[in-house]
Structure 1
């Protein structure tokens, strides 16, 4: 179960790095606009907000990476549990306020990782 928890937590961290890149660097570009279904004028007007949002996603990824480096079965377990919990809350809130798709893209992978972590 340790390997499953590590792989799932790493996947969640990589997803949040991807979100960081999309939101901070590609928000107004075709890739970012397509990913989020944005019109060019809205993307341009909201790019600083998106960059801020991307930075927060980077903090989530960094926290998960820190926990993984400390070891999921050891000192990293509380770090991973905390940051996976943050991702779950953010995903549920995003699903409730923006799009249900966020639940499946963000919250469900974190829920699976947290469940695997708790089984260690």
Structure 2
């Protein structure tokens, strides 16, 4: 179970890193506006907030990745703790996203799906 949890934590970290890139590096791009269903001036008006939010995603990605590294290196308690915390945060962020705007349900599933699977396998494996 912990191997599956680690695999999904890596996937969740990759997704969080992708969101970091969208929010912090590509927010003004039309493709990003389409993904987040932004219209017109909304992208420029929210750029500073998105930049900051992207770094939260980056930190969660690093945390999940570090948790996997610690788990593989033999420090199961620290690794599992870090993996569980970061994937729980990712899942909760996805829930907040869909609750804030139902139109973003698919995006929320992309953000929270791998994290939910990692969290479930982590909890089943303990």
| Fold in common (TM above 0.5) | yes
What is the distance in 1 between the residues matched to 2:40 and 2:24?
A: 15
TM-score, normalisation: structure 1: 0.89
Deviation by residue 1:29-76 (Cα, 9 ceiling, x = unmatched): 122122212224211111111101101111111110110110167130
The yes-or-no answer on 1:5 pairing with 2:5 is yes
For these two proteins, the number of residue pairs brought into alignment is 120
Q: Which residue of 2 aligns with 1:95?
A: 98
What is the distance in 1 between the residues matched to 2:100 and 2:13?
A: 23
Runs of 4+ residues deviating >4 angstroms: none
5+ residue gaps, structure 2, are none
The CA RMSD measured in Å over matched residues stands at 1.7
TM-score, normalisation: structure 2: 0.85
Q: Which residue of 2 aligns with 1:38?
A: 38
Q: CA deviation at 1:101?
A: 2.7
Q: CA deviation at 1:20?
A: 0.2
The yes-or-no answer on 1:118 pairing with 2:123 is yes
5+ residue gaps, structure 1, are none
